[in-house]
Structure 1
């Protein structure tokens, strides 16, 4: 079995290739070619944690895999990430376990890349001002990815701690070569922005309709609690990975959409499109420049499979990794 560490995975995973690979994987998923069952999880209530299992097969990537991921929100602000994962890749022809990969880096990068894919499909072509809400791993991942798909010239970062927001903005400006600054509040960061990325971990909804400008594209990846208010959900053209995943019970689905559906504010048909449907052109995207569009992510194994396939291909081409007997 080939074993790849987090450092090796980070070096091997090409972000531009990943965004393209995610498009193919999501098309497979929406068309029924991929096999991706609902995520299941074991709750650890004493520590506010979840261990989830995410298996999947994606034919466009020729990848059969399973990810084991833990979600521990209390790790926020410590040396440990809130999401930690490993991925086992199997030979799709024989089922033989072929590789063990660090999945923490893959989870971080593929989540931002999927949001970037949504922006490629739904954001206005001239979108140039990016609001990043949150200051953690996903905040950085989203900023990197969004700059690959739209001509971003300004980044505003907002979080619960303004000092951390300012530090992240300084880091992003140096890394990406884009003007960036910390904002005093979520509302300030969103004011006049073209794209907003919700990457917050807790608290009241960071994305509120009153703070959004016409034509904004919004992405949201918070796994627990509400990151988006009802008015935004009701007014936006909503895109998801799959309708089934978005509306599945916890830990698979998202209360950002489940609560408005259960309250009767919206019907399930309000989930306008899946990413794969937009990729394949079977559902329309943005209808007007002033339309607000929303991509609500829950994370699906098809995305991990696409990323793992790219990492393994690069590892074999470059002779990277350690072979360990089973």
Structure 2
């Protein structure tokens, strides 16, 4: 430990960092940083390190080994997850150097894990066949329930869960068959890309009809804590982000719509048949996977990339890399209609 450093506990250092960054990043980003760094703080405690002055490059390397090979009760980190963990740790240590808690050069000397091309692309997505089967089942047996509307909008608008969470009753225009996604941070509903993510999205008449029937028959007549009238509700108010995510996990399990279990499990004994454990089913998918499947389906149907980009609030570059899951042959077929017979 250098005599030039000022002692500070890891917990106090984390509090300082989170407070310093409170207005620099979105709340969801800050929450992610808190979770990543808490893992590091807990590990330091397990190693008997109670002063950030004692953290050096060897300490950081030992933590990387722990995350890569053990990671406590969690699954060991892959390269992509590790890069995110260490990137946040570097920012943390850089801020602590401002108050002389760690050497100024420490964060600069930490190297991020190298990611091979393609490693940062998540391949999980809901294919159109499964999406249609889920929606057909829900149209028969769960018609116009809040989870039916949510899955329908995930699929037909390529929305994020935050988009659905932010919707108010007034954002549904039944005359124009449209939804307005609006960033309202002052009343705690944010879009991922802030005001830049605001957009109006057209919906088909059959989708609008389901929303109308939901509002008339199954929407709870409640306000949220800010006096707004949310579209997606529970008895307590606006449906939370977690609730909306749980709807996605729940209805992407094959057994829920009467399909056989692809994992040879007995539904009568499988713990993932419990709604609260739905995310543990290997076949269940969250909103992000449904969004990726939706974007791919739109592209396969011939929707121009720029239209899908604006509709889904995603840049064309990011769309191509992370969201469009078509294979090389499918992409060739899409291009075929634009190729003239003679030039």
Structure richer in strand, relative to its length:
1
Structure richer in helix, relative to its length:
2
Between the two structures, name the one with larger relative contact order (CA 8 Å, sep ≥ 6): 1
Both proteins in one fold, TM over 0.5: no
Tell me the TM-score normalised to structure 2 length: 0.25
